[in-house]
Amino acid sequence: MPLPALVPAVASIDASGDAPFHLTSDVRIEGETDAAAALSAILEARTGLALGADGGPATVTLQVEPGGAAESYRLTTDADSVVVIGADAAGLFYGVQTLGQLVARGDDGWVVPAVTIEDSPRFAYRGVMLDVARHFHPVKTVEAYIDRAATLKFNALHLHLTDDQGWRLHLDSRPELTAAASATSVGGDPGGFYSKADYREIVAYAASRHMIVVPEIDMPGHTHAVGLAYPALVEEPVLSEHIHETVRVYGGDLPVTGVAYDGIAVGFSSLRIHDEATYEFVADVFGELAGMTPGPYLHLGGDEALGTAPEDFAQFVARASDIIADLGKTPVAWHEAGAAAGLADTTIGQYWGFVTPTDGMDDRARAFVRNGAQLILSPADAIYLDMKHSADSPLGLVWANGPTSVARAYSWEPSDVIAGIDDTDILGVEAPLWTETIRALDDIDEMTFPRIAAAAEAGWSPATGASDLRTWASFRERVGAQGPLWASLGIRFHASDEIPWVAE
Ligand code: ACM
């Protein structure tokens, strides 16, 4: 019989072909309360059945039994019972997500096929990034995105909180940032910001779905908004030919000192590198952020600092990474920072070059590993979810070799991207969503699903070649089977014609 369609592919599955478990109103869910609540919500959305601790003799048992690999679980079903055992609470939660995908309509009602699954993640870090600077996205949208990502076993939400277009987090130490630099988004759309209570709510909501929040304050470039609040901290915009060209192609105005910027050009802004006030600012911002971020990582940006001289850039990222390390946190930086001697040696590098590296971007990524740290892989021509999925898509950009098909999002192998880098050097995989053209949750759904599932599989599932399931032919069938579940969860996915969507 064909294997049930699961995404991301599980490490091991055995389908006995025996009689399935029947999911009826007689079924009782027993065990860990949080996991039971998560399962009840999925089953109610998918089947309309409201199952809980009451019910008949057939049981779904959800338990934690420490001992296995972090985030791993075992799921066993037969005609009489379903048992999910997590090695920890996250593992149990992931087993529940898998169980949600196993539910199918049988000849006489809802069933779960008889299977034995043993599953654990390939990489410890599986992230999605949301840019809330180019367009601000309210807390409820962020929470909906967390819900979506968690169903695919992502465990990190990277929030790109600041950029030229806006500063989106209130800080008591630097209140002018949101007071002066949060009102607008790209194209003159409304802006906004998170209060500290909002941020804490997002962190807590993510934790309830076993995700950490990785906040990014992008520096020393991408800092035009800082200058609206603290003019003394920034340089004049550097208006290169590239900036003029972007404005010619995409419209908008050239950036002007002290005026909110709502275009999409990048690489014109810089903090003042040789002014101690800049480092007092960096210390205030990351110090306050560290106090409200329980996760281990603070992201300092470091990308596209084209308005900063290379030696100044190196000096800046070295000091900023030290400030973060001294706060007891692990710095994360985009791969450009790998060029800097003196970077704190715990700094994680985030590679955003192409699947086949160009322009020495792989050298800069390898530098983090030479320092003794690891990499997060975000190859832009595969898993930048803001690339148009097709030429006629009204949303998205194309600069990263776009449009990016689902097949291209899927067809890469993490250990093959950067020569000399293997699994032990890779912390994980992250799929960014930049929001120059993305205004609302429907836009997020349209751009992320189904390609987000390809990133999930790169992060969670066995390596390409280590599992029969890790082929495009298998993936497209398995993704096609998720349509009814995604629709029942309210996800307005892009019904790509590369995928054989099933109706039910
Ligand atoms: C990036 O896309 N500038 C990280």
Q: Which of 90, 98, 256, 75 is nearest to 164 (CA)?
A: 256
- Ordered by start, the domain boundaries in the chain are 12-119, 127-218+267-465
Torsion angle defined by CA atoms of residues 139, 140, 144 and 149, in that order, rounded to the nearest 10 degrees: 10
Q: Return the ligand 1 atom nearest residue 384 CA.
A: 2
Give the CA diameter of the chain: 73
Q: What is the pLDDT of residue 265?
A: 95
What residue's CA is closest to ligand 1, atom 1?
303
Q: CA 471 → CA 121, 237, 319, 379, distances in Å? A: 18, 47, 44, 19
User: Quick check: do 12-119 and 127-218+267-465 share a fold?
Assistant: no
Q: Ligand 1 centre from 303 Cα, in Å?
A: 6
Q: Please say whether the structural domain 12-119 has been given the CATH code 2.60.40.420.
A: no
Q: Ligand 1 centre from 352 Cα, in Å?
A: 6
Angle made by CA atoms 5, 45, 432, in degrees to the nearest 5: 65
Q: What is the pLDDT of residue 261?
A: 97
Q: Ligand 1 centre from 302 Cα, in Å?
A: 9
Could you give the CA distance from residue 214 to residue 203 in angstroms, rounded to a whole number? 9
Question: Which DSSP category does 415 fall into?
Answer: G
Q: What is the pLDDT of residue 343?
A: 97
- Assess whether the C-beta atom of 352 lies below 6 angstroms from ligand 1: yes
Question: Is 276 an annotated catalytic residue?
Answer: no
- Assess whether the C-beta atom of 354 lies below 6 angstroms from ligand 1: no
| 3-class secondary structure, 159 | strand
Strands 115-119 and 12-15: antiparallel
Q: Which of 129, 303, 401 to mutate to test the pocket of ligand 1 (most atoms within 8 A of CB)?
A: 303
Q: Which of 217, 332, 334, 335 to mutate to test the pocket of ligand 1 (most atoms within 8 A of CB)?
A: 334
CB burial string 401-423: b at 16+ within 10 A, e below: ebbbebebbbebebbebbeebee
Q: Return the ligand 1 atom nearest residue 350 CA.
A: 4
Question: Exactly one of 30, 44, 288, 304 is catalytic; which is it?
Answer: 304
Q: Ligand 1 centre from 353 Cα, in Å?
A: 9
Q: Ligand 1 centre from 144 Cα, in Å?
A: 24
- Print pLDDT tens along the chain (504 aa): 689 999 999 999 999 889 999 999 999 999 999 999 999 999 999 999 999 888 778 799 999 999 999 999 999 999 999 999 999 999 999 999 999 999 999 999 999 999 999 999 999 999 999 999 999 999 999 999 999 999 999 999 999 999 999 999 999 999 999 999 999 999 999 999 999 999 999 999 999 999 999 999 999 999 999 999 999 999 999 999 999 999 999 988 999 999 999 999 999 999 999 999 999 999 999 999 999 999 999 999 999 999 999 999 999 999 999 999 999 999 999 999 999 999 999 999 999 999 999 999 999 999 999 999 999 999 999 999 999 999 999 999 999 999 999 999 999 999 999 999 999 999 999 999 999 999 999 999 999 999 999 999 999 999 999 999 999 999 999 999 999 999 999 999 999 999 999 998
- Assess whether the C-beta atom of 334 lies below 6 angstroms from ligand 1: yes
Q: Return the ligand 1 atom nearest residue 352 CA.
A: 4
Q: What is the pLDDT of residue 227?
A: 98
**Where does 87-237 show beta strands of DSSP type E?**
104-106, 109-112, 115-119, 125-131, 156-160, 162-163, 166-167, 212-219
| Class of the domain covering 127-218+267-465 | alpha beta
Q: Ligand 1 centre from 351 Cα, in Å?
A: 9
Instruction: Provide the token pair at 367.
Output: 């530098």
Phi and psi dihedrals of 282, rounded to 5? -60, -40
Could you give the CA distance from residue 254 to residue 239 in angstroms, rounded to a whole number? 8
Q: Where does residue 453 rank: exposed (0-12), middle (13-18), buried (19+ CB within 10 A)?
A: buried
CB 376 within 8 A of CB 349: yes
Q: What is the pLDDT of residue 54?
A: 84
- Assess whether the C-beta atom of 32 lies below 6 angstroms from ligand 1: no
What residue's CA is closest to ligand 1, atom 2?
352
What residue's CA is closest to ligand 1, atom 3?
303
Q: What is the pLDDT of residue 1?
A: 65
**Residues in CB range of 44: below 8 A, 6 or more apart:** 50, 51
**Residues in CB range of 249: below 8 A, 6 or more apart:** none
